[in-house]
Structure 1
């Protein structure tokens, strides 16, 4: 559902841009058909007015003015027709006489623009270039969303929703215990203990015990 809402707006914008490109191409082909038909009838300008379009980009604003003419003419079969056309010359005002051209049998596709009008060609080229860039940008947004933004969001959501798990580590196998005594370890009771006293060790108690006590006066004298 989220993908539908995110991609719906750029899809509609791209569709509008493609429709504008088709309209510009069809209009140019109709003008060329009217110029090449060779059918020319006199006409008259009934009304002249201008429309102004303002575009804002943040604090900056730009405006463009387009002139519109309302023409009236009588076709070769005697029927009267009126049509409105934009992009005409500013020198044509109300009441001026003009030459109207239209394809064979299609007075509803009449034009008062002169054959090979430079402004018409340049304006159509600029419009097609702008719409091509616009449609490419919309398509690029959709591709970026599907290939970069959406997979990244899914991975982030999976990491948030899944329970935390400690990182798995490979089990550590303890080394095997030795089966017997290590090499060089004594296996019996040690021998070679000394059985006699060491040489020069006193083997008896002293026989002469000093008499008296320290500090006692010697017999027949004064103690010192």
Structure 2
């Protein structure tokens, strides 16, 4: 039974680390696309939404866009991007930013490095606090079990 108080927080920490790595990876991709120096005109092929939550948690909706563009080398690239503007609809032409070596990691988001850094920093802070909370919980539980063990053996 005592192991559950260590295993569950460790699993939660693993999920938080995975989330932090994902946030950093996407931030680097977007930053690389902006600094890649290449742009192209893309067509919005379709839009769709996904929803999450419900029950006892708040429902949230995410707008997705599927874009297609042609690189300078003539390669057709299609990508899906979340959190785009709701004013972009199927058939619209938008400017996409990409790096020559990774055109599949393009973005239609206009360059905003400060906003990207702030968002990434906030999410990493959240994950860090969450991990510290889990570690603190594990230390507290360890202390409680140590005190109880000492009490039972005295």
Q: Which runs of 5+ in 1 are unaligned?
A: 160-224
Rg larger for: 1
Label 1:103 to 1:121 Cα distance change in 2 as closer, same or farther (>3 A): same
RMSD: 2.2
Mapped partners of 1:119, 1:86: distance in 2? 16
Task: Give the structure 1 partner of residue 26 of structure 2.
Answer: 27
Which of 96, 99, 102 is the matching residue for 1:103? 99
1:91-111: per-residue Cα shift (whole Å, max 9, x none)? 111111111211122112111
Higher helix share: 2
Q: Secondary structure at the match of 1:113?
A: coil
TM-score relative to the length of structure 1 = 0.62
Structure 2 unaligned regions, length at least 5: none
Q: Which has the higher strand share?
A: 2
Alignment of 1:7-156 (within 5 A): 7-54=6-53, 61-116=57-112, 120-146=116-142, 148-156=143-151
| Local SS of the residue matching 2:30 | helix
SS in 2 for 1:15: helix
* Distance in 2 of aligned mates of 1:93 and 1:156: 67
TM-score (norm 2): 0.87
Structure 1: how far apart are the matches of 2:32 and 2:25? 11
CA offset at residue 25 of structure 1? 1.5
